Structure 1
Amino acid sequence: MKAVIFDLDGTLIDSAPDIHAAANAVLQGEGLPLVSFEQSRSFVGRGARIFVERMERAVTGENEPARTDHLHARFLHFYERAHENTRIYPGVVEVLEDLRAEGFALGLCTNKPMRPTRAVLAHLDWDRLFDVVIGGDSLAVAKPDPAPLIAVVDGLGLTLPQITYIGDSETDAETAQRAGARFGLFTEGYRHTAPEDMYHQFRFDDYNLLTEYLKDPAA
């Protein structure tokens, strides 16, 4: 195994508080009802456009294309600047640095659009860590379509048997399964399904355990 590819939100970082704040900043500006933190967290995982569609439907009961377009544009405005309350999961920094030191290539495959992805990577000083980054708007399709994950693999110059994909959600698990990739499930993210009911080769709740799983081909 030569590379590890990670999801971002709910896997390496907990950005749910900032996403919630961005959502309510949009809604407040439009004079619409606000959403709760739990509502907002439940909308995460399929990209910004679907997040906005779910948010709009929750507060208005429907989606109107013109309004959705407007809310989406406003959401991206706030989303690109939403870093204040984002936190890194414990142990992540050490694991990323250790993997780089051991010669692993690192990739990022997220449904977060590229501009907010690049913004948060710069904010965390992580630009240097990832060899290939694919966001939710990098291709014509997003996860759970396997194409974004395969694009990262191709960008690394590797094949699927040479990588492990790490994610936290049903979207990530489906992406890995459809690609035929080895998948490690981080159980402390944004999933709604019991871990045992999700596709994975191994699961973990502590990043201090990840390196051992990565080195164990039977995991």
Structure 2
Amino acid sequence: MTEFAFDLIGFDLDGTLLETCGDLTAAVNHAIGTIGLAPFAEAEIRTYVGKGARVMLRRALAASGQEDPALLERLLPLLFDHYEAHVAVHSHPYPGLIDALEELRGAGVRLAVCTNKIERFTLPLIEKLNLAEYFCAVIGGDTTGLLKPDPAPLRAMVEKAGGGRCLFVGDSSNDTLAAAALGVPSVVVSFGYCDGPPAELGGTAVIDHFDELVPLVRNWNH
């Protein structure tokens, strides 16, 4: 029995554990550059992140005046190959994350990941950033064949991690809806790729920095 209200805390990946927009931007710009389109600034790509690589590229193409589905299918493998080869060039953990993970793990709380990013990118990214040791389960976007906000990936994460009282931490409505459907509380990180005002995404609580996570779950009263 830990001092915390939860046996297991799960995390989304992009925009929650990690700032990944730099590498995603580079991959999009590489793909669209092959057909002569102008590159996007990272701030613009940030607004396209959160629903998967296909949607991210579709949004970038639409903003460039290109909405041909066949073009999307042709460029997507180029984006994937570039991203796979440069998955951790600019990506990094958010401030305070490692200290929070260390404290939670030290208190006996199990930690896990549930992301819509496919395993081909998720597992190498976590390894390259030396985070794999913290997580007893990692569920990617192709692990179950379903994506958040469907609760199936989150359910698979809980089962793989050994069950128990679970909290999920994310940055979008995909995360809060999946958690709600599974009947577990959720925390929204306001610094991620939020698809709306953080306080309006349906989470149980909001944090602005990972320094706030451990005190929040230690004194959980939601």
Q: What TM-score do the two structures reach when normalised by structure 1?
A: 0.92
Name 2:45's counterpart in structure 1: 40
**Does residue 82 of structure 2 align to residue 74 of structure 1?**
no
Instruction: Give the Cα separation in 2 of the matches to 1:52 and 1:215.
Output: 40
Instruction: Give the Cα separation in 2 of the matches to 1:125 and 1:90.
Output: 15
Instruction: Give the Cα separation in 2 of the matches to 1:63 and 1:137.
Output: 25
Name 2:14's counterpart in structure 1: 9
List alignment gaps of at least 5 residues for structure 2: 1-5
**Does residue 182 of structure 2 align to residue 179 of structure 1?**
yes
Paired amino acid for 1:57: A
Q: How does 1:58-69 map to 2 (within 5 A)?
A: 58-64=63-69, 66-69=70-73
Secondary structure at 2:64 match in 1: helix
Q: How many residues matched?
A: 216
Query: What is the CA distance between 1:76 and its match in structure 2?
Result: 1.0
Secondary structure at 2:168 match in 1: strand
The C-alpha deviation readout for 1:108-144, integer Å capped at 9, x for no partner, is: 0111111111111111111211111011122221111
Identity rate of aligned residues, in percent? Answer: 32
Q: How does 1:109-188 map to 2 (within 5 A)?
A: 109-159=114-164, 162-188=165-191
Query: What is the CA distance between 1:68 and its match in structure 2?
Result: 2.0
Query: What is the CA distance between 1:194 and its match in structure 2?
Result: 1.5
8 Å contact from structure 1 (residues 95, 208) kept in 2: yes
8 Å contact from structure 2 (residues 199, 206) kept in 1: no
Instruction: Give the Cα separation in 1 of the matches to 2:88 and 2:28.
Output: 14
Query: What is the CA distance between 1:170 and its match in structure 2?
Result: 2.2
Secondary structure at 2:130 match in 1: coil
**Does residue 211 of structure 2 align to residue 214 of structure 1?**
no
Paired amino acid for 1:176: A
Query: What is the CA distance between 1:39 and its match in structure 2?
Result: 2.5
Name 1:104's counterpart in structure 2: 109
- Compute the RMSD of aligned alpha carbons: 1.6
1:85 to 71, 82, 90: 90
Name 2:3's counterpart in structure 1: none
| More displaced stretch, 76-85 vs 107-116 | 76-85
| More displaced stretch, 125-134 vs 81-90 | 81-90
8 Å contact from structure 2 (residues 92, 129) kept in 1: no
Query: What is the CA distance between 1:60 and its match in structure 2?
Result: 3.4
Paired amino acid for 1:201: T
